[in-house]
Structure formats: structure tokens, C-alpha cells
Structure 1
Amino acid sequence: MPPVDRNLTRRAAHNAADSPAAAPKGEAKLAAPVLREPESVYLGRQPIIDRNGALHAYELLFRDSPDNRARIFDDVQATAHVVARTVGEIGLSAVLGDHRGFVNMNRDLLFDDIVHIMPPERFVLEILETVTFDAKLFKRCAQLRAAGFQFALDDVVSLTEPLHEALPYVDYVKVDFLASRRADLPGLAATLKQHGKTLIAEKIETHQDFEEARKLGFDLFQGYFFARPQVLVTRRSNPSRTALLRLLGVLSGEPDFSELEAELKLNPNVVVQLLRLANSSAFKLSRPVSSLREAIAATGTRQISRWTQLLLYADGRHLPWRSDPLVQLVGTRARFMELTARAMRPSSEEFADAAFMTGIFSLVHVVVDLPPVEIMDLLKLSKEMCAAIVDGQGPLGALLRLSQAAERGDAPELDSSIGSSVDFKVLTPAVLAELQFEAATWFGAHRVE
């Protein structure tokens, strides 16, 4: 019987238990589940410590149950859930305290809207070993670094030419102690140190591993020798997203007054927040609204629909709106797209409404366990909106790309998104800046504290 490869066995154990949000690393991906509303939400975290054994940061890991294992059906969606749970459902202070969180990012995620939800001073973007580096990615990394993000290279075992080219864009390099050849580690560590990088020794399992990494000059350490990942859990708040989707389905069918009132009564938390909205300064009513019927009449089905769309992202959390970056992003984006659509086609209210809804549902993959196309079918969204969100096609797709470029402050991409279409010629830099400001102002006026 041949000898057992100890490193291979240990590596398999790590891959099974510690697969992070965007890195299946050997796990079989599962088919996407149907929409479900578990009573609790879960998040894994593993400490990263310094040379003195003090906590430096956490790596955040996708978990969907109390079992300390990752069951990943979609890389992007898994990381989206990690970020949404950290920022919103559990909370940054509860998850990270005063420390940073490392989050795994594949190439698609680095260009995805999920980045805008993360406060840059709290997150390190960990670039997976499978990412292909090129000029476009380096440009994106430079943009995100300018915004305040730090980067780490993940699972490094040798300094290949692509990784060498990436070094100017990263702050940390994580070296995989299980996969690396021990004879190569001194040279690898010395070279990375010469480039001024903070070195993290990951998958440290024994005291011998720890001592060896310390002698080689590693700054930070992570692995089973210190701690296995911890699973954090919190109760899912109400109203459930299933109920909100059902309410949006009713709203999309132009319900009569009684039908809408009956459906709203099934969502008591929505009713409470709807009453707050109706009594907010944005509506400037002569007297306070005190009943559901009055609230419906005061706000109208269009505003109720928009409010419910935003609650889908907030998931009914009782946070001030300005404290919820996901709701802030999607609300401001949708309003910006609506205003831009009006500037392009002043006489088409239908185009403006479609632009608003495209903006709202462009981030649906962050919070709902269904692909965007299935959500759009459920909500009876048009083919034009579906094509815009899924493939970036058509005028609505161009508007979505325009809003994303504006959020990044990417002037060249703004010019590219506008293109040669006559409709888009009205969107000069001065007009776009004014519309961005107006969208942010609208969001602030409609938030409910």
C-alpha cells in the first residue's frame, strides 16, 4: 500500500471545511435552490493573527447552516450573501469589531456592484488564484485602491510572472503552507518582503508550521492551529422576502384598493414603515396619517411599489436608511436611472418607470436565493428589463452601465456607455453630475429614521 500524502489529506480537509464565499476549491457546486426563508442566517469567520498572537483580521466565509461547511451553488451569489449578512443582517460591529474582513473575490466580483456595498476601510478584497490578470483588471484594482480598498493575493505557492505584475496593486500576499514546496518558501518570502508586502501564512496546522513561518518573516497567520472557522448566526428579520415578493406580484397586476389593503395587512412590518413614509416630510400632509387606508391613498400604489422594492433589500431591518449601504446604493441608482431616462425621453413616463425598476432589480442577486431572470419572471418584468439586467442589452442596459460607471467615477466608461445614440447626447458631464446630486437628495428625503 503506497504511503499517504499528508499534505494532500490535510489540503482536502481544508477545502471541505473552509471553502470561502467565492472559492469552491474542490467542492462540487450544487444546483441553485428554490427561494426559501430560513429562520436564521449564518456566516463563517476565521481569525487572522499577528506574530504576537493578537487578532488582526477575519476571513469571512459563506455558510448556509450551523454545519461548519460551505455549500456553494454560485460564487458571486455566495459572496453577495457574505457581504449582505456582514453589513446588514448581522452587522459590521458584531462580525468584525474594530478589525477588517477579508472577502474572496473572483474576476466577475471585482467588477460587480457588490463592491459598492462594502465600506472600503473595513474590507480587504482577496483575489483568488484563478483570476486572470490583464490591463482591464489592473485598471479596476487601481480604481478600487483609490477608493480606499486594500487587496490580497490568495493561495500563492510561487511567484509566477502574472503574480509578479500584480504585486504593485496588492497589500497582502497569502501563502498556502499546505500546497507550497517547503524548499521554495525562503526564497518566496524574501522576494515578497523586498516588494514591501505584508505576508500571511495560511493553512497553518501545527506549532512547527507556525515557528517556520515566523522564522521566514511572515507577518500574519491563519489556520487550524489557531482556530477553526466560527459560525455566526442571527434570526432572520421580518417581513420575509417571500412575503415582499408576493406583495410586489400583487402590485405589478394593478390591484384594486381592497385587494392591496388585504395583501398589506399580511405584512405588518411593511404597514408600520408605510405609515412612517406617509407621515414623512416628503409628503407634506396637512395632518398625520393614522390608518392603512389613508396611507395607501396618501402615497399611491406607485410609491408603495417603490417602497416595497427597497424593503426587499433592507429585509425589514429597523436600521436608519443612511446606515444601510445596500438600500442606499439601490435606491440612489434607481432614482438616477429614472432621472436620466426622463432627460433622454421627457415625454415617456413609461421609459422612466422601466429605468427605475431596472435599477432596483439590478442588485436582486445580492439578497434573494434565485437567479435574477427567475425573479423577473415572478414579478412579470418586461423582456427589455430582463435583457438589460442579465445581459446589459438595449437602452435600459446602456442606462444601467451608465449608472454603474457613474458610481465608480469612471469617466472613460461613462463616455463609452453614452456612445453615439442621439438619446444619450443630452447627458453631458454637467447634466450627469446634476442628476447624481438630485438622486442622492431624493433618497435622503425619502429615508425613514
Structure 2
Amino acid sequence: MLIVANEVSDPICVARQPIYDADGNVFGYELLFRHHVGATSYFNKDANLATQKVIADGFLLAHTGPFHNTSRFFINFTEQLLMEDFAYALPPKKTVVEILERIEPTEKVLAKCRELKSQGYTLAIDDYVGDSRLAAYMDVVDIIKFDVLGKSNQEIYEMARPFLRRKITMLAEKVESAEVMEYAKSLGFKLFQGFYFSRPEMISGKKMSSNESSRIRILSEICNDDINFDRITCIISSDVSLTYRLLRYLNSATFGYNVKIGSIERAATVLGTKKLRKWLAAAILSDTKQSNKAVEASWLAVQRAFFLQILSNRIHLNLTADELFLAGLFSKIDSIFDMPIDTILAELPLAGNVKRAILDAGNPCRNILEFLDHIDDGDWDATEKAASTLSLNVKHVGDAYLEAIRHSSELMSETPVCQPDDGNVVLF
């Protein structure tokens, strides 16, 4: 989630959910906007300027991550936003205008859709469940988003049947299982979105590859309190990719060192063992040899880790800043390795309270991870309730998330995406 402070409105919340093609590549992201954390209602007249600011700032901030250069951004538009030309604040080649299903396809609305399409915008109908009232849109939209949550195969087929031979892209949203995805794919669906993509695809019978086993062993080493300075520099030096990334990272504009850092020993001395271990854990989880789904999960994991660490002085739980960083980092590790999380964590010598925060549903420390899950899912009511339970002010949450985005982008991008205003950041 991204939260933007605005001088004319409450803080603005934006969640970003990936959309995949049939081959598992990231096609784009849906941005879910609210003009404040608990907002679920229609944007009112007084919020027009703030909403325009949301679209501009939200789009800019969401334009991070491993696939941002090739992705499109799906944005929900109310009738008011559609008719008042808010879409023109966004680049047409990167924007998919999602028409909410409650908008009646009047002549004025259809004319506006045709106008946007002529200007290069892609149009989509949101949450389609077979409503014949929306038939008039089918000649102007490019994508139909079918809500498949809780639907049987027969129900999905009946919804999709009128479009199977039409030149229109079918997107299955709210996909929660491999079975639903595979069936939708067999019908000709090309795009997919849902909680399934943040969960492991295969639970039983999956064996770790040698590459995965190696990464788990390295993670085990760096999570061990007994690791020494020489051992950690040896781990990095043995991997050309890690060496390159670390040296490029430390020589970036963010640190602003006057003298170039040209050796692993010098890099390790500058950062120190504690900070270096965190960097190494994040770098290993973001290994570019992973599937696109795992790469996306890795970016999210690193962002979650920084977010919790930055908020550590405001989170009154029995976890230190370092422990919160690790809890955030490893909370998505099942999606990265496509294995049950308890199986993976059993291999890592994490502190007991970190493991309990991740695995134990009854542990008070798990509240902060559930708070992050609500943010990532765009569930604003649950987010507001969880923030209140944790005594977190939404402004502090917003500031922490912006800082987390900057840190994770600097760490994981080939080129920095979000630079802080003053160019100086103290990481870890």
C-alpha cells in the first residue's frame, strides 16, 4: 500500500495488486484508491481536487518494482471521475481505465469511453458477473474482469460463454486456487488476479531445487547469531551477482561516499555485520532467477521488512526493530519458494518470537503482519481497525510506507526509482 499526504484532504491510501498473464508474467497492477483509510463511499464533490492528486501521486508511487517499466496500471473510475476527464492525468499507454459495474452505460458514458479509447487508453469492465445491463459496454471495452470468487466451473463457463469467440480479453479476478485458474485458462482467459498468487502453488510433493536449497542454507547462515565477519564476506565474495549488487548499492547516490568502495571487505566494514546481514537476506530473497510471481513477492517482502523496522518505535510489541525487519522479510517466504512456510522456517535459526509472530495465529505479534496483509489486500475497513488496535496514526503509517518504498527501491532496483528529497537516507 502507498499512502500520500495531501494538503487539501485526509491521507490517501493506494493498494497495488499484481495481474498476471497465462504464463505467469506480470501484465500489470490494479491500484485501489481511497481518499482516506476508512473510505468506502463514492468520491464527493469536495474531494475532486484531492482525488486528482491521488491519481497523480498514487500512479507515480506505484511505478516501482521489478516490472514497473513494462506494466499497465488498472485504475477504478467512478462515473464522476470518468466524465470529468481525470483519466487524462495519466499516460494512455500505461493506463487501463476500469469502469465500475454500477455505472449505467448511458449514451454520454459510452461516448466518453469511445473518446478515451481513441486517445489510446485501454478500457475494462470491473466485477462482471453476467449482468445483461452491461451489454452495451462490450463493443467499447478491451478487457472484461470476471468475478470468479465462489463460482463453480459451470457458472464460470456460463458467464464467459458469450465472449469465447469475441476479440475481447477475459480476466479472472478473485482467483483463490490453482484449480480455478487452470479451468479459466482452459476456457481462454488470458489474465488473472487474486489471492492465489500470493500463496504457494504446490503444498504437497514439492522438492527444493539445488538452487533453492543453497539459498536456504545461506539464509540459515546469516540468521545465525554466531556468524562472523569473515564468513559473511566469504558468502558474498563467492557470488558474482551479489558482489556486483552490493558494490553498486553502496556506490549509489543515496550514500554519497566521496571515495568509491571497490572491495567486499571495504563494503562490509562500511556497513557493519548487522546491516550487511540484512542486506544479504533481502538480496537472496530477490534472486532474479525466480518466477515472476516469486520476484513480485520478494519485492513485497523487502518493502514489508523496511516498513515494520521504520515503525518499530511506534509498535508496542515484544519485538525489536531487527526482529520486526526479519518478521516482515520472511512473512512472504512461502510465496517465494512455493512451499509451506512452517517447512521453510524450520530450516532457519530465527529467534523464537520472530517465528511465533509469523506462524502463531494467536500471538499478539501476529497482529502487525495481519495489518500488513489488510494493507496489501486493499481492505480499508480492516486496515483502519487494525491500525486502531495497534495504536498507529495513519500519518505515521503513511510516512513509514513512503520511506519503505524508497529504501526497497534503492536496494532492489537496477536503477533507483524513488529518491528521497534530501538524497541522504540512513538504512537499517
TM-score (norm 1): 0.47
Tell which has more relative contact order, 1 or 2 (C-alpha 8 A, sep 6+).
2
TM-score (norm 2): 0.49
